[in-house]
Amino acid sequence: FCSTQTTNSILHRHRCSIQAILATCLSLSTPSHSSNKTTMASNIIKKRLLILGGNGYVGQNMCHAAIQNNFTVLSLNRSGAPSAASSTKHLSPSLSQVEWISGDIFDQSAREDAMSGVDAVVSCIGAFGSNDFMQRICGDATIEAIRTAKEKGVTKFGFVSSAQVYEGSVGLKLPPSAPMHGYFQGKLRAEQELLQSYPEGHVIVRPGFIYGPRPVGGRVLPLQYVGGPISFVGTQMGPISSLIQAIPFVGKECSSMVPVESVGRAMINSLEGSDKGVILDAEAIRAR
């Protein structure tokens, strides 16, 4: 009897030891839900995006869209960060997270330094002036950036172009002496360079007039009160819209007006979601 009791006691102790070991292994191999979340969050690597001309009207909204989509954002501009008078309050939280780099887009070393380690580049560069000036700013600046990005191994490149850059465009047929000739031709040349250098990694958006709250000289111009109604008449009024769209140049502009936030959202969503090159007209920009 004593022998049987001793044997049972030994077996009981072994069972308890085995159960304790199994429980310990289970707890170690099955982390808590909160621990899982922490581990997953720490494994997320933000993509690095360089925005050229990010302190401008369109560029600031581009920065905002990128920050909202969890990018690490850098911006190369001649004057660095935008002043308080040149930005709207609702963008301030996002703009405060941007790494602002002061530099000249025509300075190769500045471009190379800014593009080191970035995954994508977006050019929002553009300006109005003489035709020679617009050729240089709207064309040459982005062309130089595309070539540097290619050399640095950047995988994607986005460009804010113009609604007038398309086959058969009246804007592209303007004589060299006409106002805006340099603007449209500059954008066209930049597009051609981008398509050649990034046949599978380009995102081109072609908006017309871009509207929304625009800070100018410490005041905010409500451009949405101009662009919104014209866009509605140009796109949403059936036969009337069709008649307007048939007018050379003017019709394309009236049907291509888009909100500034849509331009940023369309660009960033396309950079993230497409493995092939895409060109978005105004309708596609609004849909994104």
Residue-wise pLDDT tens digits, 204-216: 999 999 999 999 9
**Residue 105 clears pLDDT 60, i.e. is over it:** yes
What residue type is 97 in one-letter code? Q
The answer, yes or no, to whether residue 20 has pLDDT greater than 90, is no
Please say whether the beta carbons of 79 and 55 come within 8 A. yes
Q: Binning pLDDT at 50, 70 and 90, where does residue 44 land?
A: low
Cβ distance 286 to 255 under 8 Å? no
- Stretch 40-68: mean pLDDT: 86
pLDDT > 90: percent of the chain: 79
The whole-model pTM stands at 0.83
Determine the average pLDDT of the residues in 19-36. Answer: 44
Q: Looking at the chain, how many residues does it have?
A: 288
The residues, ordered by sequence, that sit 6+ positions from 9 with a Cβ below 8 Å of its Cβ are none
Q: Is the pLDDT of residue 188 over 60?
A: yes
Q: Is pLDDT at 39 greater than 90 in this prediction?
A: no
pLDDT score of 32: 44
More confident of the two residues 268 and 274: 268
CB 62 within 8 A of CB 54: yes
Split at pLDDT 50, 70, 90, the class of 245 is: very high
Task: Indicate whether 108 pLDDT > 60.
Answer: yes
Minimum mean pLDDT range among 19-33, 44-58, 254-268, 274-288: 19-33
| Contact in structure between 165 and 206 (CB atoms under 8 Å) | yes
